Amino acid sequence: MERLWSTCPLPSLTERVGDHAQAETRLALLGDFELTYNDRPIPLARSCQRVLALLALHDRALERSFIAATLWTEASEERAAGNLRSALWRLRPTGQALIERRSSRLHLARSVAVDLHDARSLAHRLLLSGDDYGDELGDDDFDESVFLHDLLPDWYDDWLLIERERFRELRLRALEALCERLAASGRSSRGIECGLAAIIGDPLRESSHRAVIRIYLAEGNQAEAIHQYRFYRELLAVRLGLQPSHQMSELMASLAPR
């Protein structure tokens, strides 16, 4: 197996869980793109960034022709292949392996830790715990900061759109689950922070508002619950011309008429 290397004296992001806990080379795709080695950022040309991001989104080796056609959709096949060769040339040796080549296929090196992979793994563990897997994970196992940012939100490449939306839904569900889990364990303040973070991610997402309102009601903070409810009701009416669901109405039924 041949390895392609970075041309810079290689670089932290969210701590890895699992196999890459001690990895020195880290790739951030949540929020801004950043490649680091030993916590030092490595500047890369945009073409190199796009190659690494595409490979990181797939947990398998990709054909060079697929990569070229995906990243340079408006170029001819020959020109796209040339653009890929140029990007790979810029990722040539000086120290850290970034890409593994398997015949005509390329794969992100296993030694590169990716924050997106960590966030996905953490979200699935969180969503599974408390169900079939029981309450095996302590609240301190979770760092909600990994769920605060979307996948490369400032990039407008078509190949990113579905993956961005898929991760967005996963991270919001994780924030809601963590909100309810923390509230149940008596950590209401942190639970509210997680719920509000989910609302920031999607202000029209009713389940996030309900999660926050439930905490306010459990604490006896009726005024805060009403304020949150009214904020959501007005936002929903203005943006979509809709009313809150029956579930929301039932949640608020114990309070005085508004």
The pLDDT, as a whole number, for residue 257 is 55
**CATH class in words for 115-252:** mainly alpha
In this structure, what DSSP letter does residue 30 have? B
The pLDDT, as a whole number, for residue 96 is 64
The CATH T-level fold of domain 2-113 is Arc Repressor Mutant, subunit A (1.10.10)
Q: Return the SS3 of 135.
A: coil
- Where along the chain do its domains lie? 2-113, 115-252
For residue 45, give both structure tokens. Answer: 């040309």
pLDDT category at 144 given cuts 50, 70, 90 is confident
The pLDDT, as a whole number, for residue 95 is 56
Task: For residue range 52-84, list pLDDT tens digits in order.
Answer: 999 999 989 999 999 999 999 999 999 999 999
Task: For residue range 1-38, list pLDDT tens digits in order.
Answer: 455 543 333 332 333 334 444 558 999 999 999 999 99
* Mean pLDDT estimate for the chain: 86
In this structure, what DSSP letter does residue 2 have? E
Residues 6 or more apart whose CB falls under 8 angstroms from that of 155 comprise 33, 53
* SS3 letters across 186-230: CCHHHHHHHHHHHHHHCCCCHHHHHHHHHHHHHHCCHHHHHHHHH
In this structure, what DSSP letter does residue 257 have? P
Task: For residue range 196-236, list pLDDT tens digits in order.
Answer: 999 999 999 999 999 999 999 999 999 999 999 999 999 99
Contact by Cβ (8 Å): 139, 181: yes
In this structure, what DSSP letter does residue 256 have? P
Please tell me if the domain spanning 2-113 has the same topology as the one spanning 115-252. no
Which whole number is the average pLDDT over 93-113? 85
